[in-house]
Amino acid sequence: MSILNERLRAIDLENKIIDYDSGTNPIYVGTSSPGTATDAAGWNICKITYDGNDNPTSIYWANANIGNALIWDNRATYTYTATGAA
């Protein structure tokens, strides 16, 4: 199987949710295993920040976690760090 096919297959095996600001900028991006409810633990969540010209400046990870242990519905309550490392 080609690398491209492997990556496309991996994409199909994840839930993805994007929460946008009042415009078209994605603010929060979440991924989880298929079937994970938004009110259940199992999400990997990042937050994207922008400059005054709407250019993305940073990606921050929720609660210093790059694993799938968070709840999407709680995304606004988490602390976000740049590295994803505790």
- In this structure, the strands spanning 26-32 and 56-62 are unpaired
**Is 1 contained in some domain?**
no
**Is 26 contained in some domain?**
yes
Check residue 5 and give its pLDDT. 54
Domain hosting residue 63, numbered range:
15-81
The whole-angstrom separation of Cα 29 and Cα 17 is 6
Check if the beta carbon of residue 71 is closer than 8 Å to that of residue 40: yes
**Is 86 contained in some domain?**
no
Check residue 84 and give its pLDDT. 46
pLDDT band at 86 (very low <50, low <70, confident <90, very high): very low
**Is 6 contained in some domain?**
no
**Is 67 contained in some domain?**
yes
**Is 38 contained in some domain?**
yes
Long-range contacts of 52-56 (CB under 8 A, 24+ apart): 54/23, 54/25, 56/25
Check if the beta carbon of residue 61 is closer than 8 Å to that of residue 83: yes
Question: CB neighbours of 9 closer than 8 A, spacing ≥ 6?
Answer: 1
> pLDDT of 2-56, one tens digit each?
555 555 555 556 788 999 998 889 999 999 998 999 999 999 999 999 999 999 9
**Is 4 contained in some domain?**
no
**Is 69 contained in some domain?**
yes
Q: What is the number of domains present in the chain?
A: 1
